[in-house]
Amino acid sequence: MRKSIGTLAALDIIGDFQDVLRERLQQFEKCKDASPAAQFKVLHDLTTTAETLGLLELAVASERLVYHLRYDPSSTYGSDPSEDVVNAGGRAIHAIEDYLRHAAH
């Protein structure tokens, strides 16, 4: 992408996606204790954004939570699937910040 549109434009686009990802993570934080139905749309949007950016850990954590909510809500996992999404989201934001910081040089 950088070759076709230029470095600054590519970094601007990635920055815009970072803003979208932050917004999706904030939306998830607000609804993570809500009903499963309320979480599905936010999780879908979060998964789509993560996949677009190649943030596979976050996409998988989001999809795992959707599966848990739909098919196995009473099971106990080794960790809280909601917290897995939050933690993966934090790492994703950090990775984008690092990339943008180093790619501009």
Q: What is the pLDDT of residues 78-98, one digit of tens each?
A: 668 889 999 999 999 999 999
Please enumerate in sequence order all residues whose Cβ is within 8 A of that of 59, keeping only pairs 6 or more positions apart, or say none: 47, 50, 51
**Which is more confidently placed, 88 or 6?**
88
Domains in the chain (CATH in brackets) are 2-103 (1.20.120)
The pTM of this model reads 0.84
CB 14 within 8 A of CB 100: yes
Ordered alpha helix ranges (H), 32-80: 36-53, 56-71
Q: What is the pLDDT of residues 59-83, one digit of tens each?
A: 999 999 999 888 887 775 566 888 9
